[in-house]
């Protein structure tokens, strides 16, 4: 018995796993938005119809795929996924921007705005032509006088059980290179710098914090990473 109703159509969102991730996400010339989610994720279910609608509208301009962390935990681990739903925009096989979270009621406006801006923006050169512009080390890399300088400082906190968030590293590398002299990006292991983390109230990781004039000017807690950096630096 055929139970398919007349208005049912195949999904415009491609389901990918470890076997076809490279072919479907990394190799295409067109932009690809990968949705990382897991079974039972309430926020993921909330935005699913919206993403289906957007995938249909933008067919031929951008591909939208979904990756189940439940079925492919190794992919989430490989890319350092720590929150769901997580959307990553790939261009030319590289991560161009990310969008974290789904908080109604303005999620549609935020998500459409992010997709519109990121898909139309030329691919960033995420392969540094120079040694990495991100400083890695302990708090000696940015003493108090450094935090209080005119230069903004983005600190990427991470821990031994939660490696640096690999999806954002190319983006931060680009920021550190393009905005040299205006912003410094530092990667800090909380386990090796516990006192510093406690001093600034860091109780979870990975975490991004923007310091300006010695004070925390912003904490990244979701949405477009590119927009957060621009807003925090304003």
Helix (H, G, I), strand (E, B) or coil at 38: coil
Residue 221's pLDDT is 66
* pLDDT tier, 126 (very low <50, low <70, confident <90, very high otherwise): very low
**Is it true that the peptide bond before 206 is cis, omega within 30 degrees of 0?**
yes
Q: Average pLDDT over the chain, rounded to whole?
A: 75
Nearest to 134 by CA among 105, 174, 104, 167: 174
Nearest to 119 by CA among 93, 86, 87, 96: 96
Residue-by-residue DSSP string for 83-150? SSSEEEEEETTEEEEEEE---TTSHHHHHHHHHHHHHHSPPP--S-SSS-SSEEESGGGS-HHHHTSS
The pair of three-digit structure tokens given for residue 198, joined into one six-digit string: 């406690």
Residue 155's pLDDT is 83
> In the annotation, is 162 catalytic?
no
Q: Is 76 left (phi over 0), alpha (psi -120 to 50) or beta?
A: alpha
pLDDT at 19 over 60: yes
- Cα–Cα dist 16/38, whole Å: 13
Higher-pLDDT residue of 222, 184 = 184
Q: Among 16, 25, 41, 134, which one carries the catalytic annotation?
A: 41
Residue 160's pLDDT is 60
Higher-pLDDT residue of 49, 108 = 49
Residue 209's pLDDT is 83
The 10s digit of each residue's pLDDT in 38-88 is 888 877 888 888 889 988 888 888 899 999 988 988 887 777 676 677 888
Whole-model pTM above 0.85?
no
Domains of the chain plus CATH, in order, are 14-120 (3.40.30.10), 135-233 (3.40.30.10)
The 10s digit of each residue's pLDDT in 165-215 is 666 777 778 788 888 878 888 888 777 777 777 777 766 656 788 888 777
- 15's enclosing H/E stretch is strand 14-16
Q: Which stretch of 4-13, 75-84, 85-94, 210-219 has the lowest confidence by average pLDDT? A: 4-13
Nearest to 31 by CA among 104, 88, 107, 99: 88
Q: Find the mean pLDDT for residues 126-136.
A: 53
pLDDT at 6 over 50: no
Tokens 């925009």 found at: 89
- Bridge-based pairing of strands 223-224 and 63-68 is unpaired
Nearest to 21 by CA among 86, 84, 93, 110: 93
Q: What is the DSSP letter of 17?
A: -
Residue 133's pLDDT is 66
């Amino acid at each position: 018995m055929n139970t398919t109703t007349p208005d049912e159509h195949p999904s415009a969102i491609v389901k990918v796993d470890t076997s076809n991730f490279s072919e479907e996400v990394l190799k295409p010339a067109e932009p690809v938005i990968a949705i990382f989610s897991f079974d039972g994720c309430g926020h993921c279910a909330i935005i699913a119809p919206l993403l289906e609608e957007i995938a249909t509208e933008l067919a031929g301009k951008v591909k939208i795929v979904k990756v189940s962390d439940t079925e492919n935990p190794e992919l989430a681990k490989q890319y350092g996924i720590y929150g769901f739903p997580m959307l990553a925009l790939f261009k030319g096989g590289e991560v161009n921007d990310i969008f974290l979270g789904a908080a109604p009621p303005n999620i549609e406006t935020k998500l459409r705005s992010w997709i519109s801006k990121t898909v139309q923006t030329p691919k960033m050169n995420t392969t540094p032509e120079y040694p990495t512009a991100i400083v890695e080390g302990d708090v000696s890399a940015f003493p108090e006088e450094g935090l209080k300088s005119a230069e903004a400082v983005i600190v990427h906190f991470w821990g031994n059980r939660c490696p640096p968030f690999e999806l954002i590293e190319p983006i931060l590398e680009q920021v550190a290179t393009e905005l040299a002299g205006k912003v410094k990006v530092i990667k800090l292991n909380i386990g090796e710098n516990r006192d510093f983390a406690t001093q600034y109230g860091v109780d979870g990781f990975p975490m991004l914090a923007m310091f300006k004039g010695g004070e925390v000017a912003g904490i990244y807690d979701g949405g477009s990473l590119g927009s957060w950096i621009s807003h925090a630096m304003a």
